[in-house]
Amino acid sequence: MSKEKSVAEEKREQLFFQKKNVWSTSNDSSIQSFAKEYKDILDVGKTERIFVRKMKDLLLSGGFEELTNQTPLKGKKYFRVVNEKGIFAYVPGKQPISSGVNFIATHIDSPRLDVKPNPLYEDSGIAFLDTHYYGGIKTYQWMNIALSLHGVVTKTNGEVIEIHVGEREEDPVFMISDILPHLAKNYKSKPVGEVFNNENLDVIVGTLPFQLNADEKDSIKLFVMDYLHQEYGITEKDFFSAELEFVPACKARDIGFDRGLMAGYGHDDRCCSYPAMRALMDTKTPEKAAITLLFDKEEIGSVGTTGAMTHLMEVFIEDLMKQENNSVSLHKVLSLSVCLSGDVGAALDPHFKDVFESKNAAELHKGVILTKYTGSGGKGGANDAHSEFLGSVRSVFEKKDIAYQVAELGKVDVGGGGTVAGYFGNRGIQTVDVGIPVLSMHSPQEIIAKDDLYELYRAYKGFFEEYK
């Protein structure tokens, strides 16, 4: 005979918020299947350009058409690539665009090492490519790990040459050396920032001279440059108009005996970008127009023509509005729109509990994160979503039985961070951050929970389908 609940127990269930473990309430095969799809994308799409290309292929396979300068046709699904490093996609709703748009906006850039414009040099028998780190990194994490090189070189005749080295088994990889522990005695008492200097993130690219047994000046540099010229037809001056990135050469891998977690490079923020695009593709006929926006440059302030501050987003929407014969202004449409800013949050790490405020910290396997505000130092730079909008988003999530939690990024005045949310708020669009928890954020191997990833897809799809 079951024991009856006490009044207090019933009240707790009624009044207290209890986080749900996603895996216990979701379909295991769906979680694993979605994680496999994502891992395949993550392993290939390690830079913005490659990721955009993969998303374009995905959209074309789903019946989307690329939006040109011609007037779009009513009722069709469109996308637009933005300078090869961003992509916007649209599904028409039952209501016209003039009644507002439901946006999901994320970013696809991740911390990495960018090759400098004049990078190649030789020192003590080793040739290096000099780099400038991109985004927030811990310098020491990028030393003594295998790196791959990706990017493009544009010549003065307009020819664009692609370079991809280090991902295939037969490829060489690249590496930054570190001091051996036997000689590190004098370094151990120094601050980390002095020992691991960002200016010294120079990547080893060669050690053999152009001619064996020759001892000529810059002979190793000449070997590297001659190889690049023979392989790609470039000279040293072509580095001036190149975009080359060193990223971890590792593949995404399951973690633990239970395979519940996944390690990979670029979870921040591709673990939001892929679910956002898949959710849009799988949304058939939403009530309102649905748009997924994948931006570049979030890690350095969302600037430039591919960042969230770009007005190319407005151009895309204006082009879509051409199919409607009405006099509603673009600004009016934006004021009637809402947005989920897809970005990750910090997962509670039991080894570093002192920087978290446990009541407002995100946990793995507990679903998506609603983050009312980010920023730092008294909410500086935060979007700070309005109560009414938060309530309406919660309503959709609860209707679709989405597991969600609320979180801040660490204790007050301990840390802080930013997302693209503020740039949508500045446009008059109601916006809130919705992402998932990440361990080891901004490291070469970040960690997420597979069930959180799948729940985020469900949350984004539910938002597109249900928010009115």
pLDDT of 193 reads 81
pLDDT of 1 reads 46
- Give the Cα separation of 64 and 278 in Å (integer): 12
Give the position of tokens 């074309």. 60
- Give the Cα separation of 171 and 166 in Å (integer): 5
pLDDT of 3 reads 64
Cα angle vertex 302, ends 312, 176, to 5°? 125
pLDDT of 249 reads 97
Number of C-alpha atoms within 13 angstroms, CB side, residue 53?
Answer: 8
Q: β-strand 404-406 against 203-206: which pairing, if any?
A: unpaired
Task: Quote the tokens at residue 420.
Answer: 């693209």
pLDDT of 214 reads 61
**Could you tell me if 383 and 370 are in contact, meaning their C-beta atoms sit under 8 angstroms apart?**
no
Handedness of CA 34, 51, 428, 376 (dihedral sign): positive
Contacts of 266 (CB under 8 A, 6+ apart): 42, 45, 46, 110, 247, 446
Nearest to 374 by CA among 418, 317, 423, 406: 418
Give the position of tokens 């399951």. 254
**Could you tell me if 194 and 181 are in contact, meaning their C-beta atoms sit under 8 angstroms apart?**
no
**Could you tell me if 41 and 464 are in contact, meaning their C-beta atoms sit under 8 angstroms apart?**
no
Task: Quote the tokens at residue 85.
Answer: 């490093």
- Give the Cα separation of 123 and 287 in Å (integer): 63
- 194 by Cβ neighbours in 10 Å (0-12 / 13-18 / 19+) ranks as exposed
Residue-wise pLDDT for 42-71, tens only, equals 999 999 999 999 999 999 999 999 998 888
pLDDT of 19 reads 87
Number of C-alpha atoms within 13 angstroms, CB side, residue 319?
Answer: 20
**Could you tell me if 312 and 84 are in contact, meaning their C-beta atoms sit under 8 angstroms apart?**
no
- Give the Cα separation of 312 and 423 in Å (integer): 13
Cα angle vertex 187, ends 182, 193, to 5°? 135
Residues of the chain with pLDDT under 70: 1-3, 212-215
